Amino acid sequence: MLRLEGVSVDIAGASVLRGVSLVVPPGGRVALIGRNGAGKTTTLRALMGLLPLKGGRIAVDGQDCARVPAHKRTGLGIGYAPEERRLFGSFTVQENLLLPAEVLGLPKAELQRRLEAVYDLLPELRTFAPRKAAGLSGGQGKMVALGRALMVGSRAVLLDEPFQGLAPALALRYAEALARLRDALPDVAILITESSPELLRQLVDTTFVIERGEIAAL
């Protein structure tokens, strides 16, 4: 369960998030919709502890995160697929998938178990596994970023505009993968941002709209 209560964030003196409250229950599929510059990425970065809060609180499964630094948030079981993917180009796909889970110090057998689970959910990644990430298309990279988030997201997964820039065929496969997550990960809270609600309509059960840093009524 992810809970934001009255979260405010300032960036460079501008108030970018103003009293944002939202909840993603265990197993919930929640969309955060807003146009460019509305504050979607800032909301996810605040959840990951990458930006200081000016006000409000963030809790994961009831635990207040105020004192959990960014590098420990993954350890809470939160996977994050940022908008711009951030893969290591000189690493293989499999190495990219493993990296955050290895940083957590998970035992080898657990790493292998999670990797197999991700390959079962996203079979294309098994075929990409030995390829260098630098050789992937933007859309393939998004799929890897999703897999990497799933490797550590035992409680929650945050996906920042996953459909942006995807060719229609790949967008369809990505949507199918998200639909499979629904059944395969019934307890994981999933928060997905997009600029338009259309692509997510079939995939989520709750939608929040953010406008100029504030949650708006639907």
CB of 89 to ligand ADP, least distance (A): 24
CB of 100 to ligand ADP, least distance (A): 22
Q: Which does residue 34 bind out of ligand ADP, Mg ion, none, counting CB within 5 to 8 angstroms by kind?
A: ligand ADP
Q: CB-wise, 55 or 130, nearer to ligand ADP?
A: 55
Q: Which does residue 147 bind out of ligand ADP, Mg ion, none, counting CB within 5 to 8 angstroms by kind?
A: none
Q: Please check whether residue 32 is in contact with residue 193, taking contact to mean a CB–CB distance below 8 angstroms.
A: yes
Q: Which does residue 42 bind out of Mg ion, ligand ADP, none, counting CB within 5 to 8 angstroms by kind?
A: ligand ADP
Residues forming contacts to Mg ion in the complex (CB under 5 A) are 40-41
Tokens of 10: 């300032």
To the nearest 10 degrees (0 to 180), the angle between helices 108-121 and 93-103 is 130
Q: Which does residue 111 bind out of ligand ADP, Mg ion, none, counting CB within 5 to 8 angstroms by kind?
A: none
| DSSP codes, 16-45 | EEEEEEEEE-TT-EEEEE--TTSSHHHHHH
Residues forming contacts to ligand ADP in the complex (CB under 6 A) are 11-12, 16, 34, 36-42
Tokens of 24: 């993603």
Distance, CA of 32 to CA of 65 (rounded, Å)? 21
